[in-house]
Amino acid sequence: MSQRLQEPSFLILSSLAGGAKHGYGIIKEVQELSAGAVSMKVGTLYGALDRLAAEHLIEVDREEIVDSRLRRYYRLSADGAVLLSTEATRINTQANVALRRLRVAGMHP
Amino acid sequence: MSQRLQEPSFLILSSLAGGAKHGYGIIKEVQELSAGAVSMKVGTLYGALDRLAAEHLIEVDREEIVDSRLRRYYRLSADGAVLLSTEATRINTQANVALRRLRVAGMHP
DNA sequence: AAGTATATATCGGCGGCCAGAGTATGTCCA
DNA sequence: TGGACATACTCTGGCCGCCGATATATACTT
């Protein structure tokens, strides 16, 4: 049953763990956090947002109109927090295993 | 240009960072490492092995016949080690960001 | 004789991401 | 004043990589 998240979905949940945000705000944050390295595509984002909401991992927090433009804010749900927690722990372990092995093999600084 | 790896591919590279292995051996190791939680599908494995080899991230190490059964061993290439290293570092950071945020939000033990 | 473990090959299907275009409003600057 | 750029969401076609299943073959166990 254990759900698996791909990177973009993981990053969305992670972004929302820092507080409710609207779509465009998530894109900006992901870009900043990765120092411009990762640019999430709009198609990916809004598609993922719909899917995550359908799975009750995120919820619509509120909607605002700013300068005649809609902002739909999402927040992390309780289920989403649990999933993000278990997933983050899991991939953290996996990353550490990889780094340790590379070090032992002399392939990592 | 920065290549992205999905989990199964990442796990294969990680497994090979621990030494050359053959396909079935990789499946067994991944299963053991995750305490039976993750079972890599054979279709996924051999497909990924072919792709990774085509991208020169892994190489055929040697082939053996054991009990009339072929064993094709793969090893991590230099390129593969570099990629695994950068990827592991990157996702490690991402996982830590997520865990820190959950902790701050009081959503993580 | 049947089931389990070892070992690889192959193939249809599909979910999720990519890439791009579309719609709209407001700001900055030349 | 008009062109570029930022903000903000929508939609669609395509494709890549994983899933699930089946196939083949040998050896060991029950």
Residue B33: per-residue pLDDT: 83
For strand C, the positions having any atom within 7 A of a protein Cβ are: 6-12, 16-22, 24-27
Nearest 5 degrees, angle CA A16-CA B108-CA A77?
A: 40
pLDDT at A37 over 90: no
Residues paired with residue A27 on neighbouring β-strands, in sequence order: none
CA distances for B68 relative to B5, B8, B65, angstroms: 34, 29, 6
Segment A23-34 mean pLDDT? 93
Could you read off the pLDDT of B85-96 as tens digits, one per residue? Answer: 999 999 999 999
Cα B60 to Cα B49: distance, rounded to the nearest angstrom: 10
A88 vs B contacts (CB less than 8 Å): 95-96, 98-99, 102
B89 vs A contacts (CB less than 8 Å): 95, 99
Could you read off the pLDDT of A54-107 as tens digits, one per residue? Answer: 999 999 999 999 999 999 999 999 999 999 999 999 999 999 999 999 999 998
Cα A19 to Cα A102: distance, rounded to the nearest angstrom: 36
Segment B72-93 mean pLDDT? 97
Q: What are the sequence ranges of the domains in chain A?
A: 7-104
Cα A43 to Cα A8: distance, rounded to the nearest angstrom: 11
The phi, psi pair for B66, rounded to 5°, reads: -120, 120
- Amino acid making up residue B40: M
Cα B79 to Cα B89: distance, rounded to the nearest angstrom: 16
Which residue of chain B is at minimal alpha-carbon distance from A93? B92
Q: Tell me the H-state helices in B1-109.
A: 7-16, 23-33, 42-54, 78-104
Pick the CATH number of A7-104 from 1.25.40.20, 1.10.10.10, 1.10.3720.10, 3.40.50.300: 1.10.10.10
| Nearest alpha-carbon partner for B39 in B16, B7, B87 | B7
**How many Cα neighbours within 13 Å face the side chain of B89?**
11
Residue A23: per-residue pLDDT: 98
Residue B71: per-residue pLDDT: 98
Measured in angstroms, the CA of B88 and the nearest CA of chain A are apart by: 5
Q: How far apart are the first and last CA of chain A?
A: 37
CA-to-C1' span, A71 to D8 (A): 7
